[in-house]
Structures are given as structure tokens and as C-alpha cells.
Chain A
């Protein structure tokens, strides 16, 4: 139950138009702070979490003109920190499937899988237990070609629980090579069974990318493109997956030493840009916090000075110095609290817009925008603590004035 004192403080706070203005300004500043914190959290999460997990950022493609494919794979596997080596051609294979319900067109991609590079399943079998004809798909399975350029409509995604053990057919064309041209032979249908689901957001995969065994991938690739397989003049490129991003350069150097040509990291991010954005975001946060504190301190000093006579009356009525200090701090804490609540109410729709806008750019890598209330609360509580501490120091000075000085104070 709210005491008369707190109730009186709340009434005084909300009836004062200057307080309302301060609440408005603080709400906007805290809102900006919330957006800034959310951006920083997501930005860091994006790089520190997802990029670390996605093998594209830890893979090198290269070839050795003096070695055949199997020798290259065996040789490179022996390099320290190398997790997996395989024919780069086998990395992915796009097919049509009969998973075309919920209005989806059934397009999906198979990825080359080994137990070293496929993440642990969250439902069903892990990759080490799967056999030919089996596959592990994303938890939010979205077999549609639009997965690249649209926000994933989670309501359309096929629920993993319904699909575990489900068998579906994929279709692709078989080609033959007549020595000079590729000739379309016939359409092949192959059946796959979904035996497990992984979290695509953890590895920044598309939500229509399923892992299959190396054997199945080889079969698909061969029937689809026998030309490359049969032409001995084609030097196969290998894909080298390294265990950690920080070991990439060491492996890269070793590959060059071993005679591998044009080694390239398959996906990179601009570290300089990342650092710049981080510095700007943190600077922005410092500016917002500093502005909030400056506005708040300036306001409470002016307000206390204009309230000195009333403080004198309170003291004359029997309020102790502690009562006066408590009341003043409570009044300002209420202002900061109301500002926080308003900022959160404004933040929720803005966060949704922010999420949708951001997803337009990054949905193809299956990243989920995170709203982390915990960090927002930490920063808010820090702000509240600073505000209350400074408020306490200021009001303490004036509360120590004698009553007659307070009452006679000419402001």
C-alpha cells in the first residue's frame, strides 16, 4: 500500500509541468539508450557468437595444381587446427522437394556434412548417427527460395516436431557428358528422411539448409555434373575448414608453404568497420548517459533552489533533515522510474521495427535479433544509482541550511 507520503510525492511530481517536461526528455534519452544497448548487444552477438560458429568464416578454398583431389585432402588434413577438408564442389546442392505445404515452394539446399562441422541437433539424431538417405534440417524449417530475401514468417515454418521421421522426395536433373556438351538426361527423384533438427541461428545458416552425408552429396553432384568429375584437366578446389577464426592465418600460411594456390577465406567481415561501429556505439552510449545526467543534475539543482522556502516549511512542521532528503530523492527517483517505464513502452514497438528492418538485411543468415532486458536493466539501475547519489549529495547540502535561512531564502 502506498503511504500518504509517497502518494503525496507522486501527486506533486506529476502535477508539476516542469517534471512532465523532464520525464519527456528523460524518456527519450532512456529510449535512445535502450536502442543503443540493444544494438550493441546484437552487434556483438552477431560477430562474437554467430560468426564464430558459421564455417564460412572459418573456411579456406584453395587448390594444388600438382596434386590430385584425394592426395590434397589427405595432406591438408594433417595441418594443425584443420577440422575438415573436402571437395569444394560438394559444399552445397540446391534441389526442389515436395515439402511444398504452407504455401512454400519446397526449394531447399543440402550441405555437405561431417560430424566435425554439423552442429549438435536440438531434436532427434546427431549427425554422427545418420546414414545415407537421412538428413538433418533447421529447427525452423523453411523450404522456400524466398528464404534469401524475405523475413522468415515463423508461422509458415514447418514445426520440427511434426517432421521428425518424415520422408520427402527431392527432384533434380541428371546430365550426361558427350565429350563436348552436357546433355539433359532425365529427372531423378531421391528420397530423404528427416532424422534430426539443428538450430540454424547458432551457425548463421539459411533456414532451408539441411545436412546430408558426404556419400549422398557426392552422388547428387556426380549425377548432376558428371563433366567436372570426368574431365581430368579440371583441377578440383578443396575447402578447408579451420577450428577457430584466430587460426585461419596460420593455416593459410601453411597452405602456401605446401604449394597450394590462391587460398581464400570464403567469408570475411571488415574488422575495421566492426571496430568503428563499436566505438561509435559506445561513444553514443556515453553521450546519452552524460546528457541524461547533466540534464537531471541541472534540473534538480534548479528545482531544489526554487523549493527552499517549502523545504523550510517542512522543517518547521517537524520534518527532519532525513525526511526532507528522503522525500526529495524519492520524488526524483519516481521521475526517473516513470521515464524508464515510458521509454520501455515506446521501445517495444520501436524494437519490433528495428528487428524487422534488421532482419531484412540479415535474415538470409538466420540470425535472430535479441532483446535482452537484463542489460537494459543493468544500465538503467546504474543510471538510477548515479542520479540518486548525486541528488542525495545536492539535497544534503541544502537540508543542512537552518530553517530560518531556508524560509528567508530569496530565490
Chain B
């Protein structure tokens, strides 16, 4: 039985727009487990971004219970939310958002700087290992402008892994990539899930079908598991 790292119980999220209440999430009940790659799909405006924000502690739910490692997460201060993000969560976005004036290795070190558990002298070694893991160690000294889109996204993945989080949330990670690079990125995410991490990917790509363990469909504010036709 795989361990649940995130548990959502009747999560609801409302927005007020022009004095009108919009229910984006209408009661999400779901548990995310270690060692599993989840693919979340849904049409535009279905609330995928809202769900990602809540999952990634970037926003709080209107009601419901959110458990991270069985800890109830409600009304967090900025400091505590930041600590949880640093310790347990890694993010990959469609735009790689690497710092243009830091090389690949330095970009990977950025999240480690605030992690007191990682000694200073280990940071470079760890960053190089992560770059090796994503297959671009030979380009550790290159700056983002010297890397292709696929390579930049791999650096972004290494950065997301910098503090060894067990949960990786990827929002359209291959949105800006070609098919070849898309496969490379999905394979990397697959490998990470095989190593025991919980990978949550929001994507429109059908290619994910070959890599995901579970398919989730966000429709009408509800999250339902659908059959994965690999």
C-alpha cells in the first residue's frame, strides 16, 4: 500500500466576480500517493490552475480539509507555507523561469540556499548530481540563453528536485517543447515516480498517457479518476 502524501477532503474554492460567486472547485476528495505519476486533465477554465495552487500551498481552499503528510494545513502564515514548499514540494512550470545570469548549476543551487539542512559545501555536488540525473551535467556551466528549451526545462526539473521534495507538481511542463523533448521530460518524471516520488502533472498532451499511472479529470469542479488507455 503506497503512502498518501496529500489528502484532500471536500475541498471547495469560490471566487467572487462582479458580485457573483463562482464555484471553481465543488468538493474535491482525493489522495495522492508516493511512487505514482498523476496526470490531471481538464478543459480551459475547469479549475486546474486553482487546484494546482491549492495543492502547492500557493492558495488556500474556501472550505474542506487539506492534509500534507497527515498534517492538516489550514490558514498558513507565509513563513510556514514557505517552509512546507521548500521541504516537501517541488514545482515545474511551463516557462522554465531560470535566472538568466546564473548558470545551470547555480540555478539548481538557488532553492538549496534557504535550506539549512544542506551544508554549503554539499550544494554544488548535489546540484551537479541532479544535473547528471536529468542528463545535462556536461552543460552545468552554461547560462540559460546557451541552452535549448528542453535543456532549460531539465535544469528547471533539477531545480525542483534540489531540496529532495517527495511531491513534484508540474504545470504544463512540456507546453513549450517539441515532441522529442516532451518525451524526455515525461520520461524523467516517470523515473522520479519510480524512485518513490509523488508526481502531479497538469497537461494537455496525450503523450502523458504512456507515462502516467493515474488519469484524473477535472470537470464541473470535481476531480474524478478515469481509466488510463496507454
Residues of A within 8 A of B (CB): 3-5, 8, 11-12, 15-16, 309-310, 312-323, 402-404, 407
Contacts and interface: CB of A to CB of B under 8 A. Distances in A.
Interface in B92-123: 93, 95, 97, 99, 101-102, 106, 109-115, 120, 123
B227 interface: no
B78 A321 contact: yes
A16 to B, nearest CB: 5
B123 A317 contact: no
B113 A12 contact: no
Contacts of A3: 113, 120
B130 to A, nearest CB: 14
Given A4-B109, A316-B85, 18 more contacts: A4-B123, A8-B109, A11-B101, A12-B102, A15-B101, A309-B95, A315-B82, A316-B58, A317-B85, A317-B86, A317-B159, A318-B83, A318-B87, A318-B115, A320-B78, A404-B49, A404-B59, A407-B93
Nearest to A320: B82
Contact of B79 (A8, A12, A317, A320): A320
Nearest to B124: A4
B69 to A, nearest CB: 16
Interface of B: 49, 53, 56, 58-59, 78-79, 82-83, 85-87, 89, 91, 93, 95, 97, 99, 101-102, 106, 109-115, 120, 123, 159, 162-163
Contact of A309 (B87, B97, B106): B97
Of A317, A402, A407, which is in contact with the most chain B CB atoms at under 10 Å from its CB? A317
A318 B120 CA distance: 17
Contacts of A323: 82, 114
Contacts of B102: 8, 11-12, 15
A5 B115 CA distance: 11
Given A315-B82, A318-B87, A402 B97 contact: no
Contacts of A319: 82, 86, 114
A11 B93 CA distance: 25
A316 B91 contact: yes
A315 B97 CA distance: 12
8 contacts: A4-B123, A8-B113, A12-B99, A313-B97, A319-B82, A402-B59, A404-B59, A407-B97
Contacts of B112: 4
A315 B57 CA distance: 11
Nearest to A311: B97
A315 B87 CA distance: 13
Of A3, A12, A313, which is in contact with the most chain B CB atoms at under 10 Å from its CB? A313
Contacts, number: 81
B175 to A, nearest CB: 13
B101 A318 contact: no
B141 to A, nearest CB: 13
Contact of B58 (A5, A12, A404): A404
Closest 4 CB pairs of A and B: A318-B86, A317-B111, A15-B101, A403-B58
A407 B101 CA distance: 18
A404 B159 contact: no
Nearest to B80: A320
B79 A16 contact: no
A8 B106 contact: yes
Contacts of B87: 318
B53 A404 contact: yes
Nearest to A17: B101
Contacts of A12: 99, 101-102
B78 A402 contact: no
B120 A316 contact: no
A312 B114 contact: no
Given A11-B101, A309-B97, A318 B82 contact: yes
B91 to A, nearest CB: 4
A313 B110 CA distance: 10
